[in-house]
Every structure is written in C-alpha cells, then in structure tokens.
Amino acid sequence: MKRILKTTITLIAVGVSTIISAQQIPLYGQYYFNRFLYNPALTGESGRTEAYLQGRRQWTALEGYQTRAITLSGTPKSTNVGLGLYYINDVNNLAKSNSAYGNYAYRIPLTEKSKLMLGFALGVYDYSFNMQNIVLADLNDNAVALLNNESGPALDASIGGAYTNSGFMIGVAFPQLFSGPVIYKDNYINSVEHNLENHYTVMASYDIPVGKAAKLQPLIMYKGVRGVPGQVDANLVLDWMDKAWLGIAYRDQYAVTGMAGITISNLVRLGYSYDWSMSDYSTALGGSHELTFGIVMNAKDQKQQTEEMLAAQAARQKKQMQEVDSLIDERDSRIEKLEWEVKRLANSPNRVDTVVVVKKEVTTVQVPSGSSGTTTTPRTTPETKPKTTGTSGGGNGNFMVVAGSFSQEENADKFAAELRGKGMTTYTYYDASRRLHYVHTGRFADKDEARAFAKANSIPGLTLWVKTLN
C-alpha cells in the first residue's frame, strides 16, 4: 500500500514540478537588493539595515499563482556579521508552501579590497496540496485522501559562501540542504512523502563604473537540482547612486524580464518588474508582475558617501607615504652601514694571509671638449694615488643627494647630461678612496633637509638617495 501511494504522489509531484520549471525554491524577478534569499553568505552585504515586501503575480492568464515575501537584513554596527530574517508564501494552482528562515553571515577581510563571506540559514518549511484544483481519474484513490491532511513543518537549512574583490563577487549556495521529507499520513499506517530536493545556486556579478555617479552590474545566476535541467538567469542592471535603477534579464527556458525602481528620500525603495513569457504556451499563460517595497533605515546620502570616500583615499595616500618614508629611511640606514663597513675595511691592517697585488692600470679616457682623439693616462691603485675628493659644484654640505654612481667618468658625465635634459640640475663628485664618480643634485648641511629634497625630486624610474660624506 505504501509503495503504491508513494508512486502516486511522486507522479503528482513531478507534474507540479514541471509546471513550476522543475524548481522547488521560489522564483523572483527582482533580487538585486535581496540576494541573500538565494545565498545566506550575502546577508547584510550592503552594510545597511533593509526591510522589503515583495509580491509576485505569476502567469496573469491563470488563477492562483503568486509569491509573497517579507525580508529583513542588516549588519550590527562595527562588526563583520550579517543577520537576516525572511518569510515566504508561495502558491500555485496545485500546491502551496510557507517557509521562514533566520540567516547568519560572517565576513573575513583578506586584503583592503577583498573578503570572504560565509553564511548559514536555518528554518522551517510547510507544504500542502490544493486538492480541489486537481482533476482525478479515481476519486476513491487512497493516496489522494492522504494529501488532504496537513503535513506539519519540516526542518530545513541552507549554507553558502562568497568572495568579493573590487566590485567582483562570486558565490555558491546549497538551499534545502537537509533534503527532508514532508510526510502526509492518516491515523493508520498509510503515508506518502513529498521530498525537499537538494538545490544549488552559483551567482556572479561585477560592478562597472559609468561616469562618477552610476554603475552597470552584470549578474548571472545558475540554479540546479538533481534530475532536471538547470536554469540560468542573466541580469544587467544600471544603478544611479542608489537613487534609481533600470534592468533587463533573461530567464532561461522561461521569460525576458524588464525592471525599474526608484529610491525616495534615501529611505523608501519602490521597484517593479514584468516577465514576458517565451514558452510555447505564452499566450495561454500570460506575463508576470512583481512589486517591491523597501525601507532602508540607515542609508547614507551622497554627500556623506563622497566625504567618506575622500577620507578613505586620504588615509590610503597617507599610509602609502608612510611606507615610502619607511623604505627610504631603511635604505639610507643600510647605505650608511655599508659606507661605515667600507671605511672600516679600508682603514684596517691587512691580515697575514691577504695578498695585495699592486699594479699600474692604463685606461682609455675621453679627451676634454675641444680636442680630438683619445689619450691614455696612467691610473695607480689607491695605495699610490692621493686620497682626495673633488666636486664640480652643488654646495659644501656633508649630505649629498645622489642620483647614481659610476666607475667610469664618461658614464657619469653621460648620465648627468641625460638628467639635465629632463630639467634636473646635476653635479659630479669623484670619491678617490672608492674610485667612484657620483652624479648628484646638491649637497646639504642638514640630513633631514637632504632627505626631504630627495623625496620631493625623485621621478618615476629614478629614486634619489642621500650619501653621507666624511
């Protein structure tokens, strides 16, 4: 008996599922501001406290197809937690369901612009049949009598996760996670079951700035359930500063949707959408209307948003400058340590096992301007050449702002000329103890003044640094 009854109810459930596009989760046209209905990880994602009433009249040419929803979501102040509640009443000609859920989401910052969001929803689900609308071949079928009984609520849950980064979002969720049966039974041993099938949704969106006051958001969602074809929703919404929005959507195997909405006084949101059915029975089914009424209880006006954006930009710039200053200070400190180490090694006595080779080098140097050809000049090692320093200008301070150092004077002169071509004033300085030619932009008596000059005059591809002279 039970087996026969289960087979009967399975056939009925398949028929119902076929009518509602093989999906047990409710269908919405406007989930642009209520995405947590499909993924609990997105609960409170806007950071605002929002309450919505949604009403949907499905297939206007038929009686008895409608969905109503009440939602509330928000984020406690100064937390990474999102909380939400929602109630859904979904009715079609053959059956109706009532469900209520509580959502919890937690956001984990990964970088300054990216975060990971995890969510969980727990609720109850009640399903019943409208037997007066079912035409029966056998009025005495015991399975039908059982369907007239109340099933009682079943426990249900959903989980989800999402990742966001600079306007991009991708998330996955699993509604009706428990897949528990809704059981109809009489006072005897007879019963039939209506199973809640496991679903899954994958959602992705990206915010594309349009000028300074609007954004264009493509949003795609795939809904799947075991044993039946999946369904794709492709949405494109133009949002102007949260003040108004226009959108169009394609619902795979179902309809094309147009939507529009407006926000009044940063508080009240009104939205409307209409579905044009694309099925073979579109004339018989008619279209679908959906209305949304929402209240945003802690929305920020445009001036406050602009001020916060500018403050955030200033904070980022300050942090970047502090990082640059820290890197420059670290580099200068390392240079000083290296200079001190070179000086210490130069003044320390040779070890017994150190071999010093003294030789005379002959190098080819460029003849000064006005002459022709090249000449050779003997250059001795530091042990035989006087350890003197010289400068061609730039002041007499002990802190020199250096652009580059070269072992060949010719290369130093070329680099100095190149910088002068870019509008910089340059000088050359020869350190005989190191046998290096420095190209610098000036010498200062105060080290902090030299560092400030180096920071202010560095250009892309050229970072000036400070050398301390003996």
The 3-state secondary structure of 257-326 reads EEEEEEEECCCEEEEEEEEEECCCCHHHHCCEEEEEEEEECCCCCHHHHHHHHHHHHHHHHHHHHHHHHH
Confidence at residue 237, expressed as pLDDT on a 0 to 100 scale:
94
Which residue in the block uniquely carries the two structure tokens 């049949």? 129
**Mean per-residue pLDDT, 226-249:** 89
- From the list 72, 87, 90, 100, the residue with the least C-alpha distance to 23 is 90
The CA distance from 326 to 333, in Å, is 10
**Residue 159: exposed, middle, or buried by beta-carbon count in 10 A (0-12, 13-18, 19+)?**
middle
Confidence at residue 320, expressed as pLDDT on a 0 to 100 scale:
82
Same domain, 312 and 289: no
- Please write the tens of the pLDDT for every residue from 174-184: 988 876 666 65
How distant, in Å, are the alpha carbons of 75, 110, 167 from that of 163? 18, 10, 10
Same domain, 167 and 66: yes
User: Which 3 state secondary structure label does DSSP give 131?
Assistant: helix
- Check pLDDT > 70 for residue 354: no
Same domain, 431 and 330: no
The phi and psi torsions of 337 (rounded to 5 degrees) equal -65, -40
- Check pLDDT > 50 for residue 115: yes
Residue type, 229: P
Which residues, in sequence order, are CB contacts of 52 under 8 Å at separation 6+?
Answer: 33, 34, 69, 70, 71, 72, 269, 292, 293, 294, 295
**Residue 122: exposed, middle, or buried by beta-carbon count in 10 A (0-12, 13-18, 19+)?**
middle
The phi and psi torsions of 229 (rounded to 5 degrees) equal -60, 145
Q: For all residues of the chain together, what is the average pLDDT? A: 78
Contact yes or no for 256/274 (Cβ under 8 A): no
- H/E run at residue 74: strand 66-74
* Range from 30-44, 51-65, 188-202, 363-377 carrying the lowest mean pLDDT: 363-377
Of 299, 319, 339, which residue sits at a domain end? 299
Same domain, 251 and 292: yes
- Look at residue 352 and tell me if it is in a domain: no
H-state helical runs in 42-173: 142-147
Instruction: Look at the chain and report how many structural domains it folds into.
Output: 3
Confidence at residue 356, expressed as pLDDT on a 0 to 100 scale:
42
Same domain, 451 and 378: yes
Same domain, 19 and 161: yes
Residue type, 185: K
Same domain, 292 and 198: yes
Boundaries of domain holding 28: 2-299
Instruction: Find the angle CA(323)-CA(327)-CA(329) to the nearest 5 degrees.
Output: 115
Token pair listed for 109: 């910052």
- Look at residue 212 and tell me if it is in a domain: yes
- Look at residue 364 and tell me if it is in a domain: no
- Look at residue 108 and tell me if it is in a domain: yes
**Residue 270: exposed, middle, or buried by beta-carbon count in 10 A (0-12, 13-18, 19+)?**
middle
Confidence at residue 266, expressed as pLDDT on a 0 to 100 scale:
83
- Look at residue 251 and tell me if it is in a domain: yes
Which residue in the block uniquely carries the two structure tokens 């689900």? 125
Same domain, 340 and 453: no
- Check pLDDT > 80 for residue 135: no
Same domain, 334 and 406: no
The CA distance from 94 to 274, in Å, is 23
- Check pLDDT > 60 for residue 415: yes
- Please write the tens of the pLDDT for every residue from 419-468: 998 888 999 999 888 889 999 999 998 999 999 999 988 888 888 989 98
Beta strands 214-225 and 288-296: pairing type? unpaired
**Mean per-residue pLDDT, 37-64:** 88
Same domain, 308 and 287: no
Same domain, 58 and 136: yes
In this predicted model, which residue has the larger pLDDT, 194 or 51?
A: 51
Token pair listed for 209: 């700035």
| Residue 452 belongs to domain with CATH number | 3.30.70.1070
- Please write the tens of the pLDDT for every residue from 365-400: 443 444 443 333 343 333 333 333 444 567 788 899
Same domain, 57 and 9: yes
Indicate the Cα dihedral angle 209, 215, 216, 220, nearest 10°: 100
